[in-house]
Amino acid sequence: MFILRRIFIFSPLLASFITAYPVFEAGFNDETIAKVRSRLLESAHASWERGTAAEALTEFSWPTLSVFDPSAVPPPNQLAGDQFPSDVVKIASETVNAKPQNSLALIGNDGAVGDPASIGVAVLLANWTRPEASDNSYSQAAGQQLDYLLNVAPKSNTGAISHRADEVQLWADFVYMAPPFIAYFGAMQGGDGGSALLQIAYDQCRLYRDNLRDDSGLWRHITLGSWQDSTHWATGNGWAAAGMLRVLETITHSDYASQFVDQQRDLTNWVQEIIDAVWAHQHDSGTLLNTLDDPNSFPDSSSTALLASVTYRLAVITNDFTRLDAASKALHLIETKVDNDGWLQDTVDPYTFNSATKAGDHSPEGQSFVLLLYSAWRDFAKRISGQL
């Protein structure tokens, strides 16, 4: 039986994990994390980079506003000065202010359908918590972005929304970019329309899984369209797992959780199957390779951080600590991969996704993944410490 609301139960398995890995000792000190955040803010420019940054900042600095917090959907209408997510709202405001009037998408002529939608959750959060009640710019922009996804963007013959604007092509990346926005919009809207959007978000996850997952349990990167990438790209599997996790938690913490029991069970299982398949390819150092099952591929700290963050989050949801050993090894590796300036080293080039980042260059999404990992580990440690 699937339990809608999860609680931590202290177990011998958890006790052995805590003994083996000091989860209560922060590996990243405040100065290092502050540098990671600063490097993220100065480097995130592309649509998906800014959307991922907004999510990472929310989980890191404003965790009670993140969908992983039971009281965050919907958030409070009014927030005190020190509780107002100023850095997240700044990203939303700059996006809305720069949005062309003739563009339904939050960013015009982006080329990608899903990537501009990644900023949508920040825009909705800004709208909900805005000081000026008469300001409808955020709600209008978010509504237009939703309209574009549902009614304008190309779709496959099964109804999967394309990740690309110029042809029907499905990328694993899309699952982190668009379904969490659709789900959050639905949870905030409420009513029958809101419930329908939650179902659409779930359906998009299901359709993408149907198209990209293979018998290994891993997801291929890209299918359909004029070219494909059938490799098991580590970051692509991370995007898929992390995106489904956010849809799951949005549904679970919404007013409609009891109507979506089967969907919550499916999403939990789908995230779990990626996690199980991924960590089977972890190397002794703690790293994952950029192409998970290709021994000739290169180590990638970026995807390693993202998938470790999902593993810590999933442990809170399922009360299953089976993969925490792998997540802890990954965490300790990532701690060594952040240099003195706060840059994550040894990442995949996010613009080619099949080559390592060149010396002197950096991955903005990798910076976000470090914050996501730290936040997931921190929230996990707080949760279990409260139960001991």
Residue tagged 């202010």 (tokens): 97
Residue tagged 């990328």 (tokens): 171
Residue tagged 């001991």 (tokens): 388
| Burial class of residue 62, CB neighbours in 10 A (0-12, 13-18, 19+) | buried
- Average pLDDT, consecutive stretches of 10 residues, N- to C-terminus, the chain (388 residues): 42 52 61 97 98 98 97 88 93 98 97 98 95 90 98 98 98 98 97 98 99 97 98 98 98 97 98 98 98 98 98 96 95 96 97 95 98 96 72
State the pLDDT at residue 388. 36
The pTM of the full predicted model, rounded to 2 decimals, is: 0.94
State the pLDDT at residue 16. 53
Pairing outcome for strands 288-289 and 299-300: antiparallel
State the pLDDT at residue 131. 82
State the pLDDT at residue 86. 95
State the pLDDT at residue 4. 37
Question: Using an 8 Å Cβ cutoff, are 156 and 162 in contact?
Answer: yes
State the pLDDT at residue 28. 81
- CA-CA distance, 207 to 4, in Å (whole number)? 24
Helix, strand, coil percent content, the chain, rounded in steps of 5: 55, 5, 40
Of 54, 49, 47, give the one whose Cα is nearest residue 98: 47
- CA-CA distance, 216 to 35, in Å (whole number)? 38
According to the CATH classification, is domain 12-385 in 1.50.10.10? yes
State the pLDDT at residue 356. 98
State the pLDDT at residue 1. 30
Domain boundaries, the chain: 12-385
Per DSSP, 112 falls in state B
Question: Using an 8 Å Cβ cutoff, are 220 and 214 in contact?
Answer: yes
R_g over Cα of the chain: 19
Question: Using an 8 Å Cβ cutoff, are 185 and 142 in contact?
Answer: yes
3-class DSSP assignment, residue 8? coil
State the pLDDT at residue 154. 98
Of 171, 85, 97, give the one whose Cα is nearest residue 128: 85
Q: How far is CA 10 from the centre of its chain?
A: 28
What are the b/e assignments for 299-338, b being 16+ CB within 10 Å?
A: bbbbbbbbbbbbbbbbbbbbeebbbbbbbbbbbebbbebb
